[in-house]
Structure 1
Amino acid sequence: MSIVTHDGSASGEEPVAAINVTSLIDIMFCLLIGFMVATPLANQEQIKLAVPHAPGVQITEEEFELSVISVDAKGRVFVGTLPLDADKSQWSEQLATNKKITDDGMAFIQGDRNIQFEVILDIMIALQEAGVTEVGFVTDPRLPEE
């Protein structure tokens, strides 16, 4: 029986004390992929809005994440859960980079019922400049509790 030395030659003199790390690398890649998948899910935040009540059709979660522009009670604007720039002049550029909105030519606006209407107009102007031709509004189809 021969023992492999450090230089790769076989001799019977001294054993090599080395750790086989191949299986450890496989485990590290599995952990890395697990963290890459789990990180975006843990980072999603909810935007709380008091949406006006009106009848409507339900949209899919994909349409919400990629096509809905939300305005919260403080006037902050989001696409899905990603905030838009505070500077309104940047909105049309940022919206033009959204592939779903520009390919469909359609977006939805969801606003808190207490925001100023000028914010909705600013969003509609930015959408028009980004090439969006159809705009829908997200409402709450449930009747208000009195």
Structure 2
Amino acid sequence: MARTFRRKQSAHPIADLNVTNLIDLGFILLVIFMIATPLMQQEQKIPVNLPIESVSAQPKPEKERSESITIQADGTVHIGDRGYSIKQLDVEFARFSAETKPPVIHLRLDAKATAQQFVTVMDSLKKHNLTRIAFDTQVAR
């Protein structure tokens, strides 16, 4: 009787799953989000003492493009983080109103700013038909 020294052929599939690539992908996405998150929060760079309102239910904002206008107590006006004079504001507002869908204007007014500064900016907004305005305030604690 002859002896065979070959191994028996197994017909079952290998059930190992290599997850190393998935773990690498997860860490890469984590790093990307850690880097990108601070870049998305550039609106709040200018420190402003906002007026205080009583506690009320706030409507949830829609996902639309918005521009932040900050009026500080010393009279400087900022769009985003760039300072502008009143004449330069007219140029920027004209550019906003020329767009097919103008942005929502978030008006941030320092509590110590004068009413004249506020009225001047509002007149310029009305002149360029930018009527979608939200006023940023602090909530009383």
Equivalence for 1:136:
134
Change in Cα spacing, 1:109 to 1:59, as seen in structure 2 (3 Å) is farther
Identity over the aligned pairs, expressed in percent?
20
Q: Does 1:121 align with 2:119?
A: yes
Q: CA deviation at 1:73?
A: 2.6
Distance 2:90 2:81 in 1: 15
Change in Cα spacing, 1:48 to 1:102, as seen in structure 2 (3 Å) is farther
- State which structure, 1 or 2, has the greater radius of gyration over its C-alpha atoms: 2
Bigger RCO of structures 1 and 2 (CA < 8 A, at least 6 apart): 2
2:105 match: secondary structure: strand
Distance 1:53 1:102 in 2: 34
**How many residues are treated as equivalent by the alignment?**
103
Q: Contact conserved, 1:51 with 1:113, CA < 8 A, in 2? A: yes
Cα-Cα RMSD: 3.6
Matches within 5 A, 1:1-146: 41=39, 44=42, 46-54=45-53, 55=55, 57=58, 66-79=66-79, 81-86=80-85, 88-98=86-96, 103-104=101-102, 106-143=104-141
Greater than 6 Å deviation, 4+ residue runs: none
**Structure 2 gaps, min length 5:** 1-34
Q: CA deviation at 1:116?
A: 0.8
Task: Give the TM-score of the pair, scaled to structure 1.
Answer: 0.53
Cα deviation 1:70-124 (Å, max 9, x = unaligned)? 1123221112x332422x122122123237x872464231111001111111110
Distance 2:119 2:60 in 1: 22
Task: Give the TM-score of the pair, scaled to structure 2.
Answer: 0.54
**Structure 1 gaps, min length 5:** 1-36
1:127 match: secondary structure: helix
Q: Contact conserved, 1:105 with 1:131, CA < 8 A, in 2? A: no
Distance 2:59 2:111 in 1: 19
